[in-house]
Amino acid sequence: MIDVKLGVESLTPIRPIEERIDVWNSISDNQVAFKSIDVAEDYDLLRSTLQEFAPDAVVHFAEQRAAPYSMKSPSTKRYTVDNNVRGTHNLLVALVDLGLDAHVIHLGTMGVYGYGWSGSAPIPEGYLRVKLDTPDGEIEREILHPANPGSVYHMTKTLDQLMLAYYAKNDAVRVTDLHQGIVWGTQTEQTRRDERLINRFDYDGDYGTVLNRFLMQATIGHPLTVHGSGGQTRAFIHIRDTVRCIEIAADNPPAPGERPQIFNQVTETHRVRDLAKLISDLTGAEITNLPNPRVEADENELVVTHNQFLELGLEPTTLSLGLLEEVRDIADKYAHRADQSKIIARSLWRADKAN
Amino acid sequence: MIDVKLGVESLTPIRPIEERIDVWNSISDNQVAFKSIDVAEDYDLLRSTLQEFAPDAVVHFAEQRAAPYSMKSPSTKRYTVDNNVRGTHNLLVALVDLGLDAHVIHLGTMGVYGYGWSGSAPIPEGYLRVKLDTPDGEIEREILHPANPGSVYHMTKTLDQLMLAYYAKNDAVRVTDLHQGIVWGTQTEQTRRDERLINRFDYDGDYGTVLNRFLMQATIGHPLTVHGSGGQTRAFIHIRDTVRCIEIAADNPPAPGERPQIFNQVTETHRVRDLAKLISDLTGAEITNLPNPRVEADENELVVTHNQFLELGLEPTTLSLGLLEEVRDIADKYAHRADQSKIIARSLWRADKAN
* Confidence check: pLDDT of B101 > 90: yes
B-chain residue closest to A90, CA distance: B78
Three-class DSSP category at B77: helix
Contact A149 B166 (CB under 8 A): yes
Reply yes or no on whether A334 is catalytic: no
Task: Give the Cβ contact number of residue B329 at 10 Å.
Answer: 14
Q: Is the pLDDT of residue A207 over 80?
A: no
Whether the per-residue pLDDT at A156 is higher than 60: the answer is yes
| Nearest CB neighbour to B130, from listed A43, A131, A349 | A131
Confidence at B350, pLDDT banded by 50, 70, 90: low
Please write the tens of the pLDDT for every residue from B300-332: 888 899 999 999 999 999 998 889 888 889 999
Side chain identity at residue B304, one-letter code: V
- Shortest distance, CA B112 to any CA of chain A (angstroms): 11
Average pLDDT of the residues in A154-159: 98
Q: How much is the ipTM here?
A: 0.93
**Cα→Cα distances A84→A79, A160, A184, B121, Å:** 8, 8, 23, 36
Q: What are phi and psi of B152, to 5 degrees?
A: -60, -40
Q: Is the dihedral of CA A100, A101, A102, A108 positive or negative?
A: positive
Indicate yes or no: CB of A147 within 8 angstroms of CB of B159.
no
Average pLDDT of chain B, as a whole number:
92
Buried b (16+ CB within 10 A) or exposed e, B134-170: eeeeeeebebbbbbbbbbbbbbbbbbbbbbbbbbbbb
| Minimum-distance CB partner of B81 among A85, A146, A147 | A85
Rounded Cα distance between A81 and B273, Å, is 41
Which has the closest alpha carbon to A322: A240, A264, A243? A240
Nearest chain B CA: its distance from A351 CA (Å): 9
- From chain A, pick out residues whose CB is under 8 angstroms from the CB of B96: 74, 351
**Out of B86, B159, B166, whose CB is closest to A82?**
B86
Q: How high is the pLDDT of residue A324?
A: 86
pLDDT at B304: 93
- Give the SS3 label for residue B262: strand
A to B CB pairs, distance under 8 Å: 140
Contacts of B159 in chain A (CB under 8 A): 85, 159, 162-163
Q: How far is CA B123 from CA A21, B111, B132, B156, B305, in A?
A: 54, 11, 19, 20, 6
Q: Which residue in the set A82, A90, A138 is minimally distant from B78, CB to CB?
A: A90
Tens-digit pLDDT profile for residues B240-269: 999 999 999 999 999 999 999 999 999 999
pLDDT in tens, B169-203: 999 999 999 999 999 999 999 999 999 999 999 88
Encode B148-208 in three state secondary structure: CCCCHHHHHHHHHHHHHHHHHHHHCCCEEEEEECEEECCCCCCHHHCHHHCCCCCCCCCCC
Question: At A268, phi and psi to the nearest 5?
Answer: -160, 160
pTM for this predicted structure: 0.93
Partners of B130 in the β-ladder: B141
Active-site annotation holder among A157, A219, A225, A283: A157
Nearest to B165 by CA among A164, A63, A152: A152
**Chain mean pLDDT for chain A:** 92
B124: confidence class by pLDDT, cuts 50, 70, 90: very high
Q: Which amino acid is at B318?
A: T
Residues of B with catalytic annotation? Answer: 109, 153, 157
Tell me which residue of A273, A267, A232, A84 sits closest to A150, measured CA to CA: A232
A158 annotated active-site: no
Q: What value does the mean pLDDT take over residues A227-250? A: 94
Residue A355 has pLDDT above 50, yes or no: no
Cα(B226)–Cα(B273) distance, integer angstroms: 7
Structure confidence at residue A298 as a pLDDT band (50, 70, 90) = confident
What does the DSSP 8-state code read for residue B143? Answer: E
Amino acid at A237: I
How many angstroms separate the CA atoms of B246 and B259, rounded?
A: 18
Contact B39, B46 (CB under 8 A): yes
Q: What is the pLDDT of residue B296?
A: 75
**Rg of chain A's alpha carbons, rounded to an integer?**
21
Give residue B351's pLDDT band: very low, low, confident or very high (50, 70, 90): low
Query: Which residue in B has a C-alpha nearest to residue A119's C-alpha?
Result: B134
Contact A152/B166, CB-based, under 8 Å? Answer: yes
Domains of chain B are 40-349 (3.40.50.720)
pLDDT in tens, A324-346: 888 889 999 999 998 877 766 55
- Chain A CB contacts of B136 under 8 Å are 119-120
- Does B129 sit within 8 Å of A171, measured CB to CB? no
When pLDDT is cut at 50, 70 and 90, the band that residue B205 belongs to is confident
B4 vs B37 pLDDT, higher one = B37
What pLDDT score was predicted for residue A193?
A: 96
pLDDT number for residue B328: 87
Max Cα distance, chain A (Å): 69
pLDDT of residue B355: 37
